Amino acid sequence: MLMQRFARPLRTLLRTTTTSRISTARPLTTPISTPILRKMSSTTTTAAAPAGADAFLSYVKARRTIYTLNKDLPVPTDRVQEIVKEALLHVPSSFNSQSNRVLVLLGAEHDKFWDLTTSILKSIVPEASFASTAARMAGFKAGAGTVLFFEDQDVVKGMQEKFALYADRFDPWAGHSSAMLQFAVWTALEAEGLGANLQHYNPLVDEKVQQEWSVPATWKLSAQLVFGGRAGEAGDKTFEPLETKYKVFGA
């Protein structure tokens, strides 16, 4: 029961109007793998599960950058795809323009992406410092998959023509929507017990990606989310005091 209560907020976040698979078909395995539950179970199983916004925020807080990944996913890759598709459908965009595009690379295709990236970097990184670059690339390749996020320039251009008043806004707004999608996918994967980190090897890799995976030329690559089984922990993180970055009036 406790687990089901934990599961509900994420499923609510990702609920689809087109299918009830997530809300009905996810059994107890999903909540068990959440970092929050794993942490709770090591301390107490009697604490009240967070509800409402606290439940959502517990996932927001639990999302971290995990660099040490492996290929052992705690959920099937179908589930990863389901999460990505649900987020892609439901994350907002300016004027509902739906500028986000996604390419998910799994298994050997993920390996191929990081091999391609490594060979591109090898041609530009000085030999003396390439060892550390190669080690970093090997770390990404050790993961199970990569989600590539794109912004469709055809959509951006169409919006600029349709709403000339906001012409200069549609490009940054497409970026905002992409960032929301990246965050939603990253957080949801973390909630399923995976680890992930966000990378930016665009525009270096854009041309190869277009060729290798038949990506339309109008899809502009903006970020790569590497994911996998968690083989390490997140690093320490410091927080600037809220007082320096938050204001409220009228409370």
Q: How far is the CB of 197 from ligand FMN (least distance, A)?
A: 5
User: Rounded to an integer, what distance in angstroms lies between the CA atom of residue 160 and that of residue 145?
Assistant: 34
Angle formed by the axes of helices 52-62 and 35-43, to 10°? 100
Given the complex with ligand FMN, which of 167 and 180 has the nearer CB atom?
180
Q: What are phi and psi of 56, to 5 degrees?
A: -60, -45
Q: How far is the CB of 187 from ligand FMN (least distance, A)?
A: 10
Beta bridge partner(s), residue 225: 147, 198
Number of C-beta neighbours around residue 227 at 10 A = 27
Given the complex with ligand FMN, which of 122 and 200 has the nearer CB atom?
200
Q: How far is the CB of 136 from ligand FMN (least distance, A)?
A: 9
Given the complex with ligand FMN, which of 15 and 63 has the nearer CB atom?
63
DSSP string, 127-145: GGGHHHHHHHHHHHHTSSE
69, 226 contact by CB (below 8 A): yes
Helix (H) or strand (E) holding 200: none
Positions touching ligand FMN (CB under 6 A) are 64-65, 197-200, 234, 237
Given the complex with ligand FMN, which of 21 and 200 has the nearer CB atom?
200
Q: How far is the CB of 66 from ligand FMN (least distance, A)?
A: 8
49, 2 contact by CB (below 8 A): yes
User: Rounded to an integer, what distance in angstroms lies between the CA atom of residue 217 and that of residue 239?
Assistant: 40
210, 183 contact by CB (below 8 A): no
Given the complex with ligand FMN, which of 94 and 197 has the nearer CB atom?
197
Beta bridge partner(s), residue 196: 227
Given the complex with ligand FMN, which of 241 and 250 has the nearer CB atom?
241
Q: How far is the CB of 168 from ligand FMN (least distance, A)?
A: 21
Q: How far is the CB of 186 from ligand FMN (least distance, A)?
A: 8
User: Rounded to an integer, what distance in angstroms lies between the CA atom of residue 181 and that of residue 110?
Assistant: 20
Torsion of CA 45, 48, 53, 56, to 10 degrees: 10
Q: How far is the CB of 125 from ligand FMN (least distance, A)?
A: 15
Given the complex with ligand FMN, which of 27 and 232 has the nearer CB atom?
232
